[in-house]
Amino acid sequence: MHPVLLRHVKDFALITLGIFSAAFGFKGFLLTNHFIDGGATGISLLISELTGVPLYVLLVLVNIPFIILGYNIIGKSFAIKTALAICGLALVVALVHFPDVTKDNLLVALFGGFFLGAGIGLSVRGGAVIDGTEVLAIFLSRKFGTTMGDVIIVINVLIFSAAAYFLTIEIALYSMVTYLAASKTLDFVIEGVEEYTGVTIVSVHSDRVRQMIIDTIGRGVTVYNGKRGFGKTGESMDIEIVYTVVTRLELNRLNTEILKIDPNAFVVMSSIKDTKGGMIKKRPLKH
């Protein structure tokens, strides 16, 4: 299959799964218990609860400004995918029946947030969003020089404060649990099961380190030339620097093998959200 077509099929499948997961979170848990979430979905749920306007209508109306904003700051393809995803979510919420799973408030908050966060995360992996808050966060962070996290926190503080005022403090507190569950699930779905670590190794035994990573750890490496500086006078020497990406479970083994080769090696480790290509997706070689 052509790579572009395959990518579109994969994106469509992810967004569709995301839509049904989010809709199940809405109708199976949150709506019947009057809980809300953060972000644009939280705004939609809060307005629906206060005015009686159907949620599927508000999901579209509330997200229209975010779609327009996304078109201007991210691109046409993103905006089209997002518009289709949000309209799809509204249709599923309006037309598909889901069972009312439980009345237990804690279970509603946790699992409603779980399915909603999974739905948002799957949609993001498909190249769209069904909650436009992050688009607004990107815009405001660029405009005012703040971080996206700060913007999202301020937005959600306002939403949950409104929930405490117009609904009840108890519902607002349970809604915060819903948001936390959704947020953690969203991170899990986007970043994947395994956490990756980029490792930069500066060693005089770079050839042995490189071969160890390939043969023993079973990962690919990148080698580039650099200069090593040391001493009070700033003496330097040419050296090959080795870079590789491993999973969290392989990190301890890699450090042990490096110590065997060069106890004085300079090792820098940094977290990586995700990778593409290379050997990282393959299983380690067995010896």
Mean pLDDT of 238-251: 86
Structurally, the chain folds into a number of domains equal to: 2
Do residues 91 and 221 both lie within one domain?
no
Looking at 185-189, 211-215, 271-275, which range is the least confident one? 271-275
The pLDDT of residue 118 is above 90: yes
Greater confidence, 230 or 63? 63
Structure confidence by residue, pLDDT tens digits, 224-238:
998 777 656 656 778
Do 159 and 234 fall into the same domain?
Answer: no
Q: How confident is the model at residue 201, as a pLDDT? A: 95
In a shared domain, residues 185 and 218: no
| Closest-CA residue to 116 (of 58, 61, 36, 57) | 36
> Can you tell me the distance from the alpha carbon of 203 to that of 270, in angstroms, rounded to the nearest whole number?
18
Confidence class for position 133, pLDDT limits 50, 70, 90:
confident
Q: What does the pLDDT average to over 11-28?
A: 93
Phi and psi (nearest 5°) for 226? -150, -175
* Final residue belonging to a domain, choices 191, 219, 244: 191
Give residues with Cβ within 8 angstroms of 33, minimum separation 6: 103, 105, 108, 112
Mean pLDDT of the 187-201 span:
78
How do 266-272 and 196-202 pair as beta strands?
antiparallel
**Quick one: pLDDT at residue 73?**
84
Phi first, then psi: what are they for 98, rounded to 5°? -120, 145
Does position 34 have pLDDT exceeding 90, yes or no? Answer: no
Same domain, 151 and 213: no
165 and 206: one domain?
A: no
- Please check the confidence at residue 87 and state whether its pLDDT lies above 90: yes
pLDDT band, very low/low/confident/very high, at 125 (cuts 50, 70, 90): confident
pLDDT at 282: 47
Among 191, 215, 249, where does a domain finish? 191
Residue 125 in any domain: the answer is yes
Same domain, 114 and 15: yes
Distance spanning both ends of the chain, measured CA to CA: 35
Question: Do 133 and 7 have their domain in common?
Answer: yes
Domain holding 255, by residue range, is 196-272
pLDDT value of position 231: 59
- What is the C-alpha to C-alpha distance for residues 90 and 69, in angstroms, rounded to an integer? 20
pLDDT mean over 123-134: 85
46 shares its domain with 99: yes
Contacts 24+ apart (CB under 8 A), 101-106: 101/28, 101/29, 102/29, 103/32, 103/33, 105/33, 105/35, 105/174, 106/174, 106/177
Say if pTM beats, i.e. exceeds, 0.75: no
Task: Provide the 10 A C-beta neighbour count for residue 3.
Answer: 7
Per DSSP, the residues of the chain read --HHHHHHHHHHHHHHHHHHHHHHHIIIIIHHHT---SHHHHHHHHHHHHH---HHHHHHHHHHHHHHHHHHHT-HHHHHHHHHHHHHHHHHHHH---------HHHHHHHHHHHHHHHHHHHHHTT--SSTHHHHHHHHHHHH---HHHHHHHHHHHHHHHHHHHS-HHHHHHHHHHHHHHHHHHHHHHH-SSPEEEEEEE-TTHHHHHHHIIIII---EEEEEEEEEETTTTEEEEEEEEEEEEEHHHHHHHHHHHHHH-TT-EEEEEEES---STTTTSPPPP-
Regarding whether 234 and 94 lie in a shared domain, the answer is no
Pair 183, 54 in one domain: yes
Q: What is the pLDDT of residue 211?
A: 94
The model's pLDDT over 141-167, given as tens digits with 9 standing for 90+, comes to: 777 777 666 777 888 889 999 989 998
